[in-house]
Amino acid sequence: MQVDQEKMKAFVEACHKVGRYGLVQCSSGNLSWRIGDGLALLSASRSWLPELTEQQVSICRIETNEWFNDVKPTCETVFHLGILKQRLDQNIVLHFQSPYATAIACGEPTDYDFNVIIEVPVYIGIPAIVEYLPPGSPELAQATIDAMREHDMIILRNHGLVTVGRDFNDAIQKATFFELACQILLLQRQYALIPPEAIAWLRNAGQA
């Protein structure tokens, strides 16, 4: 099965962009993109997003999780395609491990209110938290799919983060803004939260 060469190039460039924004290290993350006709592109198993090549892009059928081009996709394929299957409003799934957000995922995420910058209520909303489950396991996949039904950001305990986007920039922006919020929370002991009434207004603005 062949995919338009421009789509392949766009996917590879998006993977490199994820790396340039410091959202992954080595083989720590993975990316998927709904490309139409029931298909999605996924990064290959154990590939490095910042250095991904076109030979490391897997072509998968969303409905069945099968792949067609002899490139084994990421071990998190089931949650990528499961999210794309249920979230028809989103076309990108990004699993990332940026430093500050992952540090919070390795602590007690419920101790934090992430509304320290306006971008959180506008673009991200309230993140879900998924308890630690083995990577690549059916249990992790189902928990992640379920959590993404009503959230656009998931904290995977002792693992990392998952977000979605309408396009590549939307997903990368959510991940980058969440990393910034986590950085502020960990570096600034006396941070101030956005007032509750302002958060409600910002969330409405983000949905407009």
Task: Assign domain 5-207 one CATH number from 3.60.15.10, 3.40.1310.30, 3.30.1330.60, 3.40.225.10.
Answer: 3.40.225.10
Name every residue whose Cβ is closer than 8 Å to that of residue 6 and which is 6 or more positions away in sequence.
Answer: none
Distances (CA, A) of 50 to 11, 40, 110, 111: 12, 20, 31, 32
- Average pLDDT of every residue of the chain: 96
Q: Give residue 127's Cα distance to chain centre.
A: 12
Distance CA 208, CA 202 (A): 10
SS3 (DSSP) at 61:
strand
- Global pTM? 0.94
The predicted pLDDT at position 208 comes to 60
CB burial of residue 175 (10 Å; 0-12, 13-18, 19+):
buried
Q: Decide: 161 and 155 in contact? Cβ < 8 Å.
A: yes
Dist CA 15 CA 169 (whole Å): 11
pLDDT category of residue 149 using cuts at 50, 70 and 90 = very high
The stretch 26-39 carries a mean pLDDT of: 96
Whether residue 207 has pLDDT greater than 80: no
pLDDT band at 2 (very low <50, low <70, confident <90, very high): confident
Residue linked to tokens 């958060």 = 199
Write down the domain spans for the chain. 5-207
Average pLDDT, stretch 163-183?
98
pLDDT at 206: 73
Is-contact 163 94, C-beta < 8 A? yes
